[in-house]
Amino acid sequence: MTELSSSLQQTKGLCVETIAMSHPSSPPPTGLAAKGAPSRAASTTAAAPPPDDLPEPSTTQELHLAAQRGDLETLYRLLDHPTDRTVTASDPDDQGITALHWAAINSHILFAKALLERGAEPDVRGGELDATPLMWAARQGHLAVVHLLIKYGADPTLVDSQQFNALHLAVHSSSAFLVAYLLNTLQPLAVDSQDPEGHTALAWACYQGDAISVELLLRAGADVLKTDHAGLTPLHWAVTKGNATCIRRVVQAGADLVARTNEGKTAREMAAELKSLPAYERGLQEAGLDPRDGRKEDLPFGDRPSAAIFVVAFVAFGAMFETFALLAWYTSLILVGAEAFAMHHVVSRVILGVRPASGKKHSHGHGHSHSHGHSHGHGSERVTKSGYLCAIIAASLAWVFYVWLSRFVLQLSGYSVTSLAFALLFLLCAYNFFRAITLDPGTIRGPVGGSEELKEVVEELVERGEFNGINFCLTCMVRRPLRSKHSFATDRCVAKFDQLSRLLFLFYCPWVWNDVGANNHRQFLLFVASLVGGVLLFARLTWAYFYEKAPDLAPDAYCPALVPALICTATKYDPFAYAVAFWACLQLTWTGILLGAQLWQVARQMTTLEVSNVGRYGYMGGKPASVGASSQFGAAVAAAMTPAGTATPDPASLAHAPKPADKDGKFAYLLKLLGLDRFTSRGKAISGLAHATRGDVVNPFDLGIRTNCVDFWTRGSELGVEYERLYEIPAGGFRRAMTDRRKSVSSVSAAAAAAAGTPGSAAAAAVKDSPASGLVGLLAGMKRKMRGYERVPLSEV
């Protein structure tokens, strides 16, 4: 492990240098010189004004101290009305460091812009690392400053004395949005450039466990096979960190599992020595490989086992119902439980290839026991994201239909209307169940990665101070509309994402095997409503069937004292039909709650995600802390960028923030499946419902029950929006926008009527010259000052 030890020592040294370039008020570690920043004495001086007994600082020193503090008044006094005519914006100290360096590292963007406007050189070098202001800003992850410097001509391809360019330093800062900005706006970019030890930006990202940057670099074409001078590939560096998500991504990108270092160590052998073998094996399994030998998992039904899952579920449920019919209830319950376990075992272990959990907990990056990416394809999550739970619903519907047809239609008379109503509800339920599964939920589609169009989107968001996790998804590389959410189960952003009571495990509904969003929410609601109504009618027919067909119990027949006689009669007369009816009625426990919550939310123009956010944070679209910070910083950047700039991304607002580890075990998992966990203290839905009902939080989309319902069933037509492209709320709210739209339609109609007798060209001119022509006028009105509902308290909208 000599090569690895040497590389780690050098890495440690570079990390120390990175720390040393922190905020000037933070001195370097004891006994270590700060490379790339002034000496400890200079840093201390920057942190506080000099004592009175020290000599008065020179004009240049005074300017540098002002840059460290962001003191614009001093800058204006020294540069605009100087007493010393020799001072300039680019004057360096004895280490070559300028005021622009200090403004850049401290993210004083207004100060930096003022210096650049007064002639400061953007590519001036200074410090022991011979670095430019852009390098200082990139090392700290200050995206706004980097963008400002590039606008004023700074060269991001330059390297410091360690051969680190802006991309290397952005990766060191773990600022994924800065990495994304550089990769998508500075093409062509040397994504595989190496430092003196041969480390690429991808190797650094893997070593740091920065799974988001790894994904961005791989998407930009980073070479996953490139080795450093010690023979280590990015996979080796991901193993040193023990990050399963980074391992999975580089493996999926084509990493060589048998590549050896200069000492002859493979990634697996290195993982065993570094005690990160569980993370390595989990990463392979999440990538669809056998964790033991790295070969592709040989599943009996390949990568598409859905048909087999549906067949297994249908046969297993039939066997369980028949077991209950053939054996005494106290015997059949045990055997039915065994059959249910066997069904789950066949689906999870045989068909899906899920392996037993090792029980070892290990890191997955970012300091969390559960990594970014939410452990794709592992354990219960792989089962949830398969069609297994959807197959259970489908099998249940099939056996209910069989009992209705074979018992109630053929044997029960006098209930034709009820039976017909059930048939209609069953067809409605089955149809909308199928539609909810197959419809696109409202996927947000953006420009192709690396295209000029994507570059324009990124630069526009940076200029507006909105290039952050609230407004942009780094996984999908698309601008996120309001009310949208990234689904980790299907790896896409969905418009008007409902989340459905956290029944959407990983923001996804396993019962319909799909996300639920703007395009299929209506079908899902109709499915649930018709399911509840159908079960109630089925229960009514079942009661009539046993009441009229089942003979009375014999005088000597045994029936427990607490059990109604009709149940004893039913279980003796037709236990198969009774078992099916009992299973169907059991579904009312969660479907009834879900239906009530969904109807209330439709009436209030809210999604379950927004209700949950209200309960947690008091805001429909985000945490108030991140909202306030983003708004304040965005205002400062706007002033500096003219018209705007970029906001520092809040890790808590990222679309891919790590999911907290589930500490409640199997019971919490069951609550998620039944959709009841949101009513616990963790779900916060009850709190959100209470706040929304009392009107504590103003909902900008709520225009009354009638309008809300019409908008839901017309998919945004009532509000005049496309939820896939709804990025901002109109000034004055949607009620004013609707009023303006109706007025514009009326004016267009009046103009057309007035021009009815004129030639066609004159009529067209009259319509064109009207104050607002249809939707064009509305969209033009919406281009005025907008407000995003995540970024301000809703009470201010």
Q: Which neighbouring-strand residues pair with 246?
A: none
Q: In angstroms, rounded to a whole number, what is the distance separating the alpha carbons of residues 564 and 311?
A: 36
Cα separation, 251 vs 245, in Å, equals 10
Amino acid present at 296: K
Contact (CB, 8 A) for 626 and 652: yes
Task: Compute the distance between CA of residue 476 and CA of residue 482 in angstroms, rounded to an integer.
Answer: 16
Q: SS3 for 555?
A: coil
Distances (CA, A) of 566 to 321, 542, 546, 549, 552: 19, 11, 7, 11, 9
Least Cα distance to 142 among 111, 121, 96, 119 occurs for 111
3-state secondary structure 771-797: CCCHHHHHHHHHCCCCECCCCCCHHHC
The one-letter code for the residue type at 670 is L
Question: Taking the alpha carbons of 326, 332, 338, 341 in that order, is the dihedral positive or negative?
Answer: positive
3-state secondary structure 268-306: HHHHHHCCCHHHHHHHHHHCCECCCCCCECCCCCCCCCH
Give the chain's length: 797
Give CA–CA dist 127/79, Å, rounded.
23
Which residues does the annotation mark as catalytic? 509
The 10 Å CB-count burial string (b at 16+, else e) for 615-648 is: bebbbbbbbeebbeebbebbebbbebbeebbbbb
DSSP letter string over 608-636? Answer: HHHHHHHHHHSSSSS-HHHHHHHHHHHHH
Q: What span, in angstroms and rounded, lies between the C-alpha atoms of 293 and 291?
A: 6
Burial of residue 198 (CB within 10 Å: 0-12, 13-18, 19+) is middle
**CA 788 to CA 793: how far, in whole Å?**
10
CA distance 664 to 668: 5
Task: Kindly report the backbone phi and psi dihedral angles of residue 261, in degrees, each rounded to the nearest multiple of 5, phi listed first.
Answer: -75, 180
Whose tokens are 């000037």? That residue is: 24
| Structure-block tokens of residue 254 | 């084509």
Per-residue tokens: 506: 């990983």
**Dist. CA 660–CA 612, nearest whole Å:** 16
Q: Which of 684, 516, 493 is nearest to 602 (CA)?
A: 516
Beta bridge partners of 492: 487
What token pair was written down for 230? 């010690």
Task: Kindly state the DSSP code that residue 514 receives in the 8-state scheme.
Answer: B
**Helices 588-603 and 521-549, axial angle in degrees (round to 10):** 140
Residue 640 CB contacts under 8 Å (≥ 6 apart), including other chains: 109, 110, 112, 113, 144, 148
Q: How many other CB atoms are found less than 10 A from the CB of residue 414?
A: 9
Alpha carbon 742 to chain centroid distance? 36
Neighbours of 548 (CB within 10 A): 12
